[in-house]
Chains A and B, each alone.
Chain A
Amino acid sequence: MWLLLTILLPLLGFALLGLFGKRMREPLPGVIASLLVLASFLLGTGLLLAGGARFEAEWLPGIPFSLLLDNLSGFMLLIVTGVGFLIHVYAIGYMAGDAGYSRFFAYFNFFIAMMLTLVLADSYPVMFIGWEGVGLASFLLIGFWYKNAQYADSARKAFIVNRIGDLGFMLGMAILWALYGTLSISELKEALEGPLKNPSLLALAGLLLFLGAVGKSAQVPLMVWLPDAMAGPTPVSALIHAATMVTAGVYLIARSSFLYANLPDVSYTIAVIGLITALYGALSAFGQNDIKKIVAYSTISQLGYMFLAAGVGAYWVALFHVFTHAFFKALLFLASGSVIHALGGEQDVRKMGGLWKHLPLTRWHGLIGALALGGLPLLSGFWSKDAILTATLTYPFGGTGFYLGALFVAVLTAMYAMRWFVLVFLGEERGHHHPHEAPPVMLWPNHLLALGSVLAGYLALPHPLPNPLEPFLKPTLAELEAHHLSLGAEWGLIALSGAVALLGLWLGYTFFQRKAFPPWYLTFEAWSRESFFADRVYNALIVNPLKALAEALFYGDGSLLRGYFGLGGTVRTLGQGIARLQTGYLRVYALLFVLGVLVLLGVMRW
């Protein structure tokens, strides 16, 4: 019951603010919403310390509403409510003065409630409630400024693209139900311990569930909605489209690790998709000029890393990256938000620059965020990314190709992270603004996130240094035997990845301070700006044909009715024709009789 309360508290906030928020004065809605998330965080922490919890209630025949707080879901709960609380507080300042202030916090609380449902679910349908619920919250918040038709389009696109993945999720559930007669995760886990019933069908189920993850976590080929999702207010981008919701796909794979550990081919596919996405996101980040879109593409890329880790079987490593990423990516977004706020709504990096001297605190947030993303040794991003790199070599579904690919992406990441930082904070001022530093209510969350971005990595240091995270998560994840590298090899690799990150950071730092770029780079940049034309290709090949077909069907359906009436007319004409056959001549009847018999005989033989 207490466990249910962690979900009900933010849901109560949603109901309360949705119904009465308009009558409250600022910042009361924001304070209520933040406190409820904090309460949920504290309650969750308490339950986790008490050893976890379970909740079950009747829902559908054969499908109870079951929740489970174990180490894995507890870990996610802490991220969701912890980082979520900080971003709520930040939004109190960021959203100040907005006409939809209380509506914003109502949606924000709704999101937290749904995300907790997703995380705590102990059965796939319950997880699906949260899964679609966060999708709805995302839709409502991307379209928060709904009067802008483009923003509204972005919101709709996000929901529809996600639904493609959701269909995969649903069909995956249908297969599991048909095979095992249950959709409870705990029960399926037990059922899968024995020999597999129908390995190829099970693999299909795994692939379909992964399709759901691909949609929710914006992996190739369903990545197109996330950059557009930046239409929402910046705290939304930080909470939903960076720290929590988009990592739900990774969580799904980790939660289902008992399934994927049995499916090497599917796992391999996941790793390949992850690596492709990591590369695609990184390459697309270079050409972006919107301060948030750079960060958005980096999110796509980092999510790719997480799937790479999950694909090779290093589930806990994937979650480790979820954890560190939540801090530094939320920080990057919120620092971007402070910049946008300081510049009165400006989002184009070409009109920024030189903010180093104007924003004495935010500049450090931006620097720490960018360095953590770029993998500067000793910061959080370095440790988790390094863990992924190592995992591609030590885990059973890994391989050297994955390692080299991921290493290459690491260089790119460091470079575009520096590009972001250089264009925003360094060089000369290109805009005509009067920047002002953010208020304390926005600065303090960032201080804490910056602290997290530095320290989060120390939760799981490489062998032989302390690593409390792995044993904490291990009991909830499938066991895959990873072979250990020798100490020398392991630390050699760490040194290599550190060197690579430093190289990338230095390259980015120097290259993007240039006044002019070589022609090859400009060509690349042009492609990158259009994110390699994915949107246009989809529109031309899929969206527009489907729309045209809808029009065609619509008009076709209109003529269907005319067709029926036409048929009626034909019957009448036919009837008149037959009437004319009634000539009264016996020989005609005889002929018809014979013909009829022949037809009947034909039918019967056939």
Chain B
Amino acid sequence: MVVLAILLPILFGLLLLLGLPRALGVLGAGLSLLLNLYLFLTHPGGVAHGVQAPLLPGAGVYWAFGLDGLSALFFLTIGLSVLLGALVAKVEGRFLGLALLMSGLLLGLFAARDLLVFYLFFEAALIPALLMLFFYGGEGRIRAIYTLLLFTLAGSLPMLAAILAVKALGGSPTFLLEDLLAHPVGGNAAFWVFLGFALAFAVKTPLFPVHAWLPLFHQENHPSGLADALGTLYKVGVFAFFRFAIPLAPEGFAELQGLLLFLAAISALYGAWVAFSAKDFKTLLAYAGVSHMGVAALGVFSGTPEGALGGLYLLAASGVYTGGLFLLAGRLYERLHTLEIGRFRGLAESAPGLSALALFLFLAMVGLPGLSGFPGELMTLLGAYKASPWLTALAFLSVIAGAAYALTAFQKVFWEGGQRGTEDLKGAEWPFAFLAVAALVLMGVFPGFFVKGLEPLAEAFAKILGGGA
């Protein structure tokens, strides 16, 4: 089942790359979401649908996939985000094909139960991202590609070393997650192993100061927002810290916890603050993303069950609303051929539906209770406070800064007087708006339903670090 769920978007992606029409891609994205939804709803708890086949049995590498509560949640949000993108991004079939391909690789990454397989997907997902940037990006795309590659490689090589070291030093017979967890690395080596992971994952969180690739990445990507939405899903650092880096080398994490909490708090505040000065939509969303990932990372780094649960839920939720906002920016670009915030004004009058959708997305992003951003933020707060009251207070200043940048942008674009009229929601934008709002509200009102599968994992995580209930 899991393998099917991973292969389905990859298969559709390949078909589209061969030149089949875009509509097929929408179908693929829809089927993928339905399958993922089914997997989520029928998830029995524990690691479900596990499969395991030898890849390099001599080296202890296995094709191992499985769906735990965490993966199931991300399957759902990834499926949803991709469908949202497929519905509205008016791009050619091949572009959508790359997006589907990437989403399949991301699903693989979230379902991997073998460290090397995870690594494989983690790196492979970069390829469609780069291709989308290369073929459909803006004028400065080469520089953006160069930057992204440089940052990624700077993280990947130490990570590969860390992966090999984890097995060798911990004495695990295989790279399978459960084997590795049974043989954590201890002592001095733990520090270096963790550091190797940390760099790669910090780049992909992204944490200050290695976030510098992100604004460029978003600015240069196609204005439809499709590549940005996928790029948002690719920010898997917080997940990877939780699933691999911290449990595999808890002693190493313990040594760096203070620094990481500090960087996460700085990212949260800094991102929100800088976002306030952003002149165009994508830059704004890029920095807003840094801020949110800072909060999410703070939750996981707190090492508490509440914090980890909150951080991961925030990560899952932000995939939908940040992606949704990128796609919304794409809708605006298609209408008015600009992404500059100062050049819209007063769109609410001619496009009330679009305006309402934007408000929902923005409010979810700034953590308004009742929408999907808040539960994660609250649980993060409660957990992180236990780990570090002062850094938590610092990080949560972003609550104020977030309201400032989000509402300023909303006001500039949709309120105030302006001659610019534009079309309201039309065609496929209606199901897009409906799905997005439904997701925001459901995830905000019934978070307990979505995090049920996460709870035991967060508890186990905290136990590894010597805390938890």
Contacts and interface: CB of A to CB of B under 8 A. Distances in A.
A159 interface: yes
Given A60-B448, A149-B417, A173-B378, 11 more contacts: A60-B447, A61-B309, A61-B451, A61-B455, A63-B378, A125-B369, A136-B363, A159-B403, A170-B399, A171-B393, A564-B150
A128 B369 CA distance: 7
Interface in A167-208: 167, 170-171, 173-175, 177-178
Interface of A: 18, 58-63, 125, 128-129, 131-133, 136, 139, 143, 146-149, 152-153, 155-156, 159-160, 163-164, 166-167, 170-171, 173-175, 177-178, 547, 549-551, 553-554, 557, 560-561, 564, 568
A131 B367 CA distance: 13
Interface in B374-390: 375, 378-379, 381-382, 385-386, 389
Interface stretch (B53-61, B179-187, B407-415): B407-415
Chain A interface secondary structure, helix, strand, loop or mixed? helix
B52 interface: no
Contact of B381 (A131, A146, A152, A173): A173
Contacts of A58: 448
B147 interface: yes
Interface stretch (B156-164, B190-198, B272-280): B272-280
Contacts of B215: 557
A564 B216 CA distance: 14
B397 A167 contact: yes
Contact of B273 (A171, A178, A553): A553
A560 B209 contact: yes
A145 B74 CA distance: 40
Nearest to A136: B368
Nearest to A132: B369
Given A61-B455, A553-B273, A174 B381 contact: yes
Contacts of A131: 369
A59 B386 CA distance: 21
9 contacts: A60-B447, A61-B379, A128-B369, A148-B416, A159-B407, A170-B396, A171-B381, A557-B212, A564-B212
A173 B382 contact: yes
**Pairs of residues from A and B, 6 with the lowest C-beta to C-beta distance, nearest first:** A174-B385, A554-B277, A146-B415, A129-B369, A152-B415, A561-B212
Contacts of A133: 368-370
A147 B415 contact: yes
Contacts of B369: 125, 128-129, 131-133
A568 B154 CA distance: 11
Contacts of B213: 561
A178 B385 contact: yes
Contact of A152 (B216, B397, B416, B448): B416
B349 A147 contact: yes
B400 interface: yes
B29 interface: no
A129 B370 contact: yes
A549 B396 contact: no
A178 B386 contact: yes
Contacts of B276: 547, 550
Interface centre among B147, B213, B399 (most CB of A within 10 A): B399
B378 A59 contact: no
A128 to B, nearest CB: 6
A358 B416 CA distance: 36
B274 A557 contact: yes
Contacts of A174: 381-382, 385, 389, 392
A171 B377 CA distance: 12
Contacts of B370: 129, 133
B437 to A, nearest CB: 11
B212 A560 contact: yes
Nearest to B283: A554
Nearest to A131: B369
Interface string B55-75: 000000000000000000000
B145 interface: no
Contacts of A129: 369-370
Given A147-B346, A160-B404, A174-B382, A166 B399 contact: yes
Interface string B26-66: 00000000000000000000000000000000000000000
